[in-house]
Amino acid sequence: MPKKEMPSGALLLLILRVLRSGPLHGYAIAQRIHILSSEVLHVEEGALYPALQKILLKGWATSEWGVSETNRKVRFYRLTSAGRKQLEAELSSYDRVNKAIQDVLRTA
């Protein structure tokens, strides 16, 4: 089955949502998105780490070094209060756009 590209902007929303549950390192974020999407979504490193960097620069998350469950040095990302507010804004925007698309699909 060919890989499907994630819609523009969806990755930031998904990362913020996954981090709402608690701090995770990059690989764990990608794995959680993959598992929670019933293995439909696959997050490539080349997209994940630039998105995480953007999230850090915007102040939506902080990071600190730690040790993973496999005893490797990894960077853990934690959502900030600004990140929680951004997540709510992103979810609201997503809901509005999704409803509009569904309206068109139902009535066209």
* Nearest residue to 26 via CA among 39, 7, 38, 11: 11
The confidence band for 2, taking pLDDT boundaries of 50, 70 and 90, is: low
Distance, in Å, from the CA atom of 25 to the CA atom of 35, rounded to the nearest integer, reads: 15
Please tell me the distance from the alpha carbon of residue 78 to that of residue 107, in angstroms, as a whole number: 42
C-alpha distances (whole Å) from 51 to each of 39, 46, 61 are 20, 9, 11
- The pLDDT tens digits of the residues spanning 14-53 come to 999 999 999 999 999 999 999 999 999 999 999 999 999 9
The sign of the CA dihedral 54, 45, 27, 7 is positive
Residue 8 has pLDDT above 80, yes or no: no
pTM > 0.85: yes
- Which CATH number is associated with domain 10-107? 1.10.10.10
Q: Other C-beta atoms within 10 Å of 24: how many?
A: 20
Every domain of the chain and the residues it spans? 10-107
pLDDT beyond 60 at 1: no
- Average pLDDT for the chain: 93
